[in-house]
Amino acid sequence: MNKTAVLSRRVVIVVAIGLLSTLMAMVWQAGLASLYYFPASFRLEQWDKANAKPDADDLTGTAQLAEAALAYQPDNPHYLLLKAKVNEWRWYSGVLSSADVAANEAIYQQAIALRPSWPVAYADHAYFLAVTQLRLTEAWQQLMIARQKGPYLPEVQQKFLAVAFSFWPQLSVAQKADVYRQIELGMSGALFFTTRASIQQFNKQQLVCQYLRVKRSPVWLKVQDNLCARFQ
Digit-coded pLDDT (tens) for 66-124: 999 999 999 999 999 999 999 999 999 999 999 999 999 999 999 999 999 999 999 99
Distances (CA, A) of 44 to 49, 82, 161, 178: 9, 8, 19, 29
Count CA atoms closer than 13 A to 74's CA, side-chain side: 1
172-186: average pLDDT: 96
Where along the chain do its domains lie? 30-43+57-96, 151-232
Digit-coded pLDDT (tens) for 2-40: 555 544 555 444 444 444 444 444 443 555 778 889 899
Collapsing DSSP to helix, strand or coil, 196 comes out as: helix
Digit-coded pLDDT (tens) for 183-226: 999 999 999 999 999 999 999 999 999 999 999 999 998 899 88
